[in-house]
Each structure stands twice: as C-alpha cells, then as structure tokens.
Structure 1
Amino acid sequence: MNSVTATLHTLIVSTDEASGQLLRACLLQAGCTIVADVAPDRSLSAQLAQHQPELIVLSTPGDAGQLASTVARACGDARRPMALFTSDARGGSIDAALSAGVAAYVIDGVEPGRVRAVLGVAMARFRQQGRLLDELHGARTKLAERKVIDRAKGILMARHQLGEDEAYQKMRSMAMNKKLKLAEVAQRLLDVEELLER
C-alpha cells in the first residue's frame, strides 16, 4: 500500500453513478478511506464541512470544468487537493478545472494502479501550489508594508525636516521601544496624520 494514499480521507463528488462506483472501487484498492460519495448539489458545502476530507476526487463524463468550479466554490477558502477523472478532453474544461484548483486531471484513466499514482501526484502538486500561494501572499504583504513605511517616512520627513535615513531610524526606534513591527508603527503614523488632516 502506498503511504501517500493510505488512510487518506477522501470525498467523492460524482455526476454519474456508474463511473462513480468504478472510481470508488479503485480508490479503496489504492488505500483511500472514503468518507462520503456525494452529488454536486446544494448540500455540497455542508457535506464538505461535515466530512473535512483530505482529498476530493471528482468524477464526471462531461462538463468537467463546471464540476470543478462548483466544488471549488463549495470549498470556499478551505483549499483542498482535488483530482478529477473524466472523459471530457476539451481544452476549455481543462483550463476551467485547473483554474478551480484541480491538481490532477485524468482523461479516461480509472484503473487501480494508475489511480494510486495520480493521487500521489495530486497531493504533491497541491502542496507545491500551497507553497507558491504562501510565497505570493508573503511577497504581497511585504510590498504593502513597504508602501506604508515609505508613506509614513515621507510624513516624518516633511513634518520634522528629517532626511530619509533619519526618518527611518526614528520609526525603527519607535517600533523597538513599543515592541511593534515597523509596519505597525508606520500605519499608526498614517492614521494620526489622517486624523490631523480632517
């Protein structure tokens, strides 16, 4: 049994009972623990919240992009790895599914040996996507903080006739004295400036 899939709590979202049954058998053989097999209906969000799956496996003969988008909306902010098994080879469906966060898109390939490998790839890609999203979020946060610090520095320079380095050191000292991050001190300076301008 593959350690990647062993006891992986898996929720199946299927639009077709026959293909869903075959996929269920392959998932069980791959070592997954099936927590539920549901339809993409109004109860999907509640089912996801109730079962908290570690993996979502989608199964549909067609409209794969639509199914992936529906499941992604039902997940909301709780990102989860998704693997999709379908007969839908249309480029638009593939693009829509990948945009919705599907980590593995498999066309006409439901066999036990292949399913296990696909799930391993899906989990690895999901972790990689998560790291990239974290890096992107961190970069955006740093850029936003840099802008706040630069604006606050400009206010100190104008109000107190300070040079750029002096204004930066003044803010840095304030941050250290108050045990705050530099960006927090800068935001407080901007808030005070906004109050004074009213």
Structure 2
Amino acid sequence: MRPCRTMDLVPWLHVVDARLMSVRLSIVVVEPDQERARLIVESLCAAGDHEILVIRETTGLARRIGQADPDIVLIDIADPSRDTLEELALASGPLERPVAMFVDRSEQGLTRAAIEAGVSAYVVDGLRAERLKPVLDAAMARFQMFRQMRTELAATRRALEERKVIDRAKGLLMKARGIDEGEAYALLRRTAMDQGRRVADVAEALVTAAGLLS
C-alpha cells in the first residue's frame, strides 16, 4: 500500500497525495488537540488512502465543512456537554453527509441527543485506531440507509399531496361541467398531454385559479 502522504497548507489542513483521488474518501476531522489530531490522521492513513482535512478551531465550522464538502465528518470530543454536542453535530451538516462522533465519556441522554441531532455513529470510550474503519463504515452505511428512507418518505408525502390536489381539481370540474369523476380525470389528463405537463401540475393550476376567482 502506498504510504499516506500529507502536507501542512494551513494549521488545520492536511491533504493526501492527489494521485489517490479515485480511490480515497474525503474526510473532515474536527479535533482541537494537535497530538490527538496527528494520531487520528495516522490511523486514517493506515486504514486507507484518504483526503483528510483537520479542523482544530470550531469557529466557522459549518462554513469550513460546507466548503470542503467531505464524504464523512469525524468529530473527537473528550467530554461533551449537550449544547456542545448538538452545536457540533448540526454544524457538521448531518443531513448532507455522515457524521461520526467519538467521546471519552458520555452523560445519560447524550447518546439519544446525538442521534436526534443526526449523528450517524456515536462512540463512547474514546477514539481508538482499530475502531476507526469499522465505525466510519457503519456511519456511512447508516447515513445512506436513513437518506434513502428520507427520500422515500418525501416522495410518499409529495404523492399524497398531489393526489389531494387532483381530487380537488376533479371536484371542481365535476361541479362546473356536470360530469362524473372518471370524465373529470380524463379531462385533466388530456389537458396535461396537450400542454406537455404533469396531471398534478394542471390540477394545481386549476385549483389555484379557482381560489383566485372565488
């Protein structure tokens, strides 16, 4: 395996050899302690060829992570409070990417708070080299699973809303033209085809126009 090479561009940045781009992950490490950050980078390099950005200051964290747009964020906190945990989790963009959080100790309820904040993996008893890869793999898998669930849920809600609008549009046509439900839907569909639009869009336009005229 090619050694993982880094170079210090600014105090919080490490970048692995760019020739490994096709096989590496982009990882942001949030770690204020320089020595712990070095150990984490070495452990990640031992696990694979990755692009690693180390952020030691949490000021402007959301902006820095957004600019980096990593595949995953790894946060190491020695002794988190609920406020700090939630602030770091939300700043890491848990809805856009997996976030793995390692803590040395955790008070009762913090694990649930972390999960509610969107953290994909919350590991108590500190960060150990041998745990990095399996935890990151699990965090990414869990994130993908929940993102698919969110996508499917959003699609289901959108379909239900569109069905409600179509039903309202059919009701308007039935009342205005004295036709039955089947004829009303056929009219909506024919209009949609003639205009090159979706039935739901035609129905929404009709309902909106009816609302303006009422």
Alignment-mate amino acid for residue 162 of structure 1: I
Q: Name the structure, 1 or 2, with higher relative contact order (CA <8 Å, separation 6+).
A: 1
Q: Which moved more, 1:52-61 or 1:104-113?
A: 104-113
Give the TM-score of the pair, scaled to structure 1: 0.86
RMSD of aligned residue pairs (Cα, Å): 2.2
Match of 1:124 among 133, 141, 144: 141
- Report what 1:69 is aligned to: 86
The one of 125, 131, 153 aligned to 2:170: 153
Deviation at 1:93, TM superposition (A): 1.1
Is contact 2:95-2:118 (8 Å) kept? no
Give 1:40 shift.
Answer: 2.2
- How far the C-alpha of 1:67 sits from its partner, in A, is 4.0
Query: Percent sequence identity over matched residues?
Result: 35
2:14 is matched with which residue?
none
Would the aligned equivalents of 2:89 and 2:118 in 1 still touch at CA under 8 Å? yes
* Secondary structure of 1:11's aligned partner: strand
TM-score computed with the length of structure 2 as normaliser: 0.80
Inter-CA distance 62–13: structure 2 relative to 1 (3 Å threshold)? same
Q: Is the 8 A contact 1:174 1:185 kept in 2?
A: yes
Structure-2 change in CA distance of 1:101 and 1:109 (3 Å) = same
C-alpha displacement of 1:135: 0.3
Partner deviation per Cα, 1:97-151 (whole Å, 9 max, x = no partner): 1112211111125222221111111111111111111101101110111111111
Distance 2:30 2:82 in 1: 13
CA spacing shift, 1:161–1:72, aligned 2, 3 Å: farther
**Unmatched tracts of structure 1, length 5 or more:** none
User: How many equivalent residue pairs?
Assistant: 192
1:38, CA displacement in angstroms?
3.0
The code of the aligned residue for 2:44 comes to L
Residue number among 98, 101, 104 corresponding to 1:84 in the alignment: 101
Q: Which residue of 2 aligns with 1:188?
A: 205
